[in-house]
Amino acid sequence: MKKTLIIIGAGLETIPVIQKAVDMGLHVVATDLNPEAPGFKYAHETVIGCVYTSGKSVEALKLWAKQGRKPDGVMCAAVDAPHTVAAVADFFGIQAVSSETAALATDKLAMKNRFKETGIPIPWYKEIFDADELRKNLKKRKESLVIKPVDSRGARGVLRLEYGSNTLPDLQWAFEHAQHESPAGRVMIESYLNGPQISTEGFVVNGETYTPGFSDRNYEYIDRFSPHIIENGGQLPSFLSDETQQEVKELTGMAAIALGINNGVFKGDMVVHNGKPYVIEIAARLSGGYFCTHEIPWNTGVDFIGTAIRLAIGETPAPKDMIPVFQEGVAQRYLFPDQGKVVRIEGIEEARAVDGIRMVEIRTQTGSIIPPTTNHPARAGVVMGVAETREKAVENVNKAVNCIKIITEKS
């Protein structure tokens, strides 16, 4: 009899995970609040349940279970919903991320407190309650700070406040902007550490960590979209030395274990500051942005999603399945058109014809409104490519991006 896997979320970037599970011979049940979720058409069964409200998902799946069905595993991908995964797993009595770990992974302040307790290197941080407190800390510390919601995602409400800059935004606005994006109305600040930022992704298997995913994050538009912190893709393999990469991987694994991940996946946002790695955040889930589904396999040969699925249904992957077998050049860039109404899109086929390009995905259309770019979901598309070296991959992807014209007009 086929094993059954529940996948929380059925958005665009979850489709490859659903497809992989189906290809592995699993019976896939996808849940999403949106009845038109694009991933639904790839799953065997669909359940309408709120991805981010665990109680509603559990209630919806209770009704599904009345058919006499029970899942063998549950997971999420490209949605920050480990708390929902944990709640579903608790209800059905199956292995998954624990509710304690999920709570730590979705509360940035609690996460930082745990890291501080366990000696994990992190930026200085503090919860604040009003703009006056923000002003006092900026003056006292005399350094650039990041203000963010304690419990949001996708860089929503995250701002870089450059100490001494003439472009420093109004601090009352900055506090209210961050607070508005927090479901609980909670806000924190932390030191902004200069240095290369890295995305990592890996596994914990019976307490052992493996980190095949390692990408240099691209922030070429850090000034263009300031004070918002907007990532513009990344490139692999890393330019960092093997020694530094190993230090980052070891720290990421230590942080995942500190959160209580014993058998599961983790995603790390890391920075190397003055030659030393620090943890910005760790997520107890699979990443979005096609990092785990496309970039890591293209870069390393590791069947990342297949391994994550096997973990989710209680299997134990072999160590060799989690270790890179090669290092191919991979690059990814996002599309950020000007604000306004889309009147024309050009150059898509020309972009796809560029050497090494494997994906050109446009997420807007004529007549759509492009909002101001203030967070990661504002991306209007993505271009990804592969080459023998990272430099060539970046060159090819930039060439393809330059082919695409999303022309807007102010309404």
Per-residue pLDDT tens over the stretch 349-370: 999 999 999 999 999 999 999 9
- The pLDDT score that the predictor gives to residue 377 is 80
Q: Residues spanned by CATH 3.30.470.20 within the chain?
A: 194-219+231-327, 331-409
Looking at the domain covering 331-409, what would its CATH class be?
A: alpha beta
Superfamily of domain 124-191: ATP-grasp fold, A domain (3.30.1490.20)
- As a whole number, mean pLDDT of residues 250-272 equals 98
Percentage above 90 pLDDT, the chain: 96
Q: How confident is the model at residue 334 (pLDDT cuts 50, 70, 90)?
A: very high
The pLDDT score that the predictor gives to residue 248 is: 98
Q: What is the mean pLDDT of residues 43-62?
A: 96
CATH 3.40.50.20 boundaries in the chain: 4-96
pLDDT of residue 378: 80
Let me know if domain 194-219+231-327 sits in CATH 2.40.10.10. no
Query: What's the pLDDT at 74?
Result: 98
Cβ burial, residue 77 (10 Å; 0-12/13-18/19+): buried
Bridge partners of 45, per DSSP, are 29
pLDDT score of 165: 87
- 257: pLDDT strictly greater than 80: yes
Q: What confidence tier does 162 reach under pLDDT thresholds 50, 70, 90?
A: very high
Chain region(s) in the chain for CATH 3.30.1490.20: 124-191
Mean pLDDT calculated for residue range 81-100: 97
What value does the mean pLDDT take over residues 310-320? Answer: 97
| Whether the predicted pLDDT of 298 surpasses 90 | yes
- The pLDDT score that the predictor gives to residue 1 is 78
The pLDDT assigned to 356 comes to 98
Mean pLDDT for 171-186 is 97
Q: Give me the mean pLDDT over the 54-69 stretch.
A: 94
Mean pLDDT of the chain: 97
pLDDT digits (tens, 9 = 90+) for 188-211: 999 999 999 999 999 999 999 999
pTM of the model: 0.96
How far is the C-alpha of 292 from the C-alpha of 17, rounded, in Å? 9
Spelled out in words, what is the top-level CATH class assigned to the domain 4-96? alpha beta
Mean pLDDT for 257-261 is 98
Residue 134 confidence (pLDDT): 97
